Amino acid sequence: MKVLIRSVRIIDKKSSFHDQVRDILIVDGKIAQIGDDLSAEGAEVKEGNGLCVSTGWIDMRVASRDPGFEHKEDLVSVRETAAHGGFTEIVLLPNTQPVVDSKDTLNYIRQSGLGSLVKLHVAAAVTKKTAGVDFTEMIDLHTAGAIAFTDGEHPVQNADLFLKTILYLQPLNGLLMNRPEDTQLTIFGQMHEGITSTLNGMKGMPSLAEEMMLNRDLKLLEYALDKSTLELTGQPMLHISLVSTKEAVDLIRQAKEKGLPVSCDVAAHQLAFEDKDLIDFDTNLKVNPPFRGPSDHQAIREGLLDGTIDAIVSDHNPHDEESKNLEFDHADFGITGLETVFSLAKMYSGLNVEDIVEKLTTKPRHILRLEETNIAEGSVANLTFFEPETDWTFSKTYSKSKNTPFLGQTLKGAVRGVFNNSRLEWF
């Protein structure tokens, strides 16, 4: 298979061709040549308007719903949705039925994606059934290929379980991913605790619930830290998922200044909305963590700009009509986000294109202990093609679920194609 991409701007800070416009020839899954005015007999030729290419994007937080809830999303539809969002690799949460707390379920998911355009990485559960009571067989799951450990949609509430997980994973150079939320403080909560929740007559979810739990997690990490392990790997041992408050960003910034092995991400949709946008009770805007206030919004942008926030994720969370199209306080939390991550980052983050790409490629790969990829002659082609300045209308989603507030809207920053595992898909 030969593919020739003409006049494409290369976005890869590790590449000697970074920020240059070149032709790229891909032969049998590898980058055969990078240069000007290339030609290849029988090659499939692609080009675009202001076309850019980077190494393939990776999404660190995706709910697949398969096995168990295939009517919301399955492993085929989630791969197709991810590809249209520009992702060649995604990390799936363990919140399925059965939960990914055994090697059988882990292997079922991993094998379903072997050789596909979008590679599936699987995060295994910390506790059985993500119930927060008994540990899973983490060593066996790690050996079987779990990329990280998390209870996903259920934050680890028990301090002893959290601490022992850090201790267990240290010798494995494993990664714990946790979303900080004290669920006793957010029980029955529907949106951010503030003026809008008061006006709407809804129980609020205070920022304090995130900040207290994050402070606990960072203290326990420091307590458990084996500095020789940190010096040996140089990689985060704790990844904080979905930061949403100013205080959380400040706490992570301080932790990094102290040298703690911590990283974090933010959901792309958090960049687009504030809590005041829920005044009309749009259930597509009901997410957890909830959209916060203006000061939190600004702090997230500053955290992205100064590098405190390492990655941008979709937090793709598909739900059927029966779970979303009902009264606000009965609707489930979540947005489908795989197809809009880049556009939202381009429109709302304040980052330049190179830095957005870094938070979708280099930083996630480092956090997840994945082999680096780069754009160079002889390298395996794992690529995403996109047009940062192109407007497009999000008229169709490839997800089985439609719980997104962006359908029908015109967005900036269009994905044009992905190449991985010797396969090309062009949109």
CATH of the domain at 347: 3.20.20.140
**Annotation marks residue 306 as catalytic:** no
Q: Indicate if 249 and 385 belong to the same structural domain.
A: no
Residues 26 and 87 in one domain: no
Q: How far apart are CA 157 and CA 345, in angstroms?
A: 31
- 373 assigned to some structural domain: no
363 and 397 part of one domain: no
Q: Dump pLDDT digits (tens) for 225-256.
A: 865 555 556 789 999 999 999 999 999 999 99
Q: What is the pLDDT of residues 100-134, one digit of tens each?
A: 999 999 999 998 888 999 999 999 999 999 999 99
Final residue of a structural domain among 340, 367, 394: 367
Element (H, E) at 315: none
> Does residue 314 sit in the same domain as residue 356?
yes
* Other C-beta atoms lying within 10 Å of the C-beta of residue 307: 13
Q: Are residues 38 and 71 in the same domain?
A: no
| pLDDT value for 269 | 98
**Together in a domain, 11 and 74:** no
Strand pairing of 311-313 and 423-426? unpaired
Tell whether 243 and 385 lie within a shared domain.
no
Cα–Cα distance measured from residue 33 to residue 366, given in angstroms and rounded to the nearest whole number: 27
Q: Which of 37, 151, 315, 329 is catalytic?
A: 315
Domain count, the chain: 2
Which tokens go with 240?
Answer: 């904080």
Question: Mean pLDDT per segment of 10 residues, for the chain of length 427 residues?
Answer: 96 95 97 94 93 98 96 97 98 97 96 92 98 96 97 97 95 96 97 97 97 97 74 81 98 95 97 97 98 97 98 98 95 97 98 98 97 95 98 97 97 98 96
The angle subtended at Cα 307 by Cα 304 and Cα 55, nearest 5°, is 85
Kindly state whether residue 117 falls inside one of the protein's structural domains. Answer: yes
Q: Tell me, what's the pLDDT at 233?
A: 60
41 and 79 fall within a common domain: no
Confidence (pLDDT) at 341: 98
Do 19 and 139 lie in one domain? The reply is no
pLDDT the model gives residue 60: 98
Residue 310, pLDDT score? 98
372 within domain boundaries: no
Mark whether 145 and 18 lie in a shared domain: no
What local confidence, expressed as pLDDT, does residue 1 receive? 87
What is the pLDDT, as a whole number, of residue 231? 57
Domain hosting 44: range is 2-52+378-426
- Same-domain pairing of 323 and 201: yes
Contact 251, 196 (CB under 8 A): no
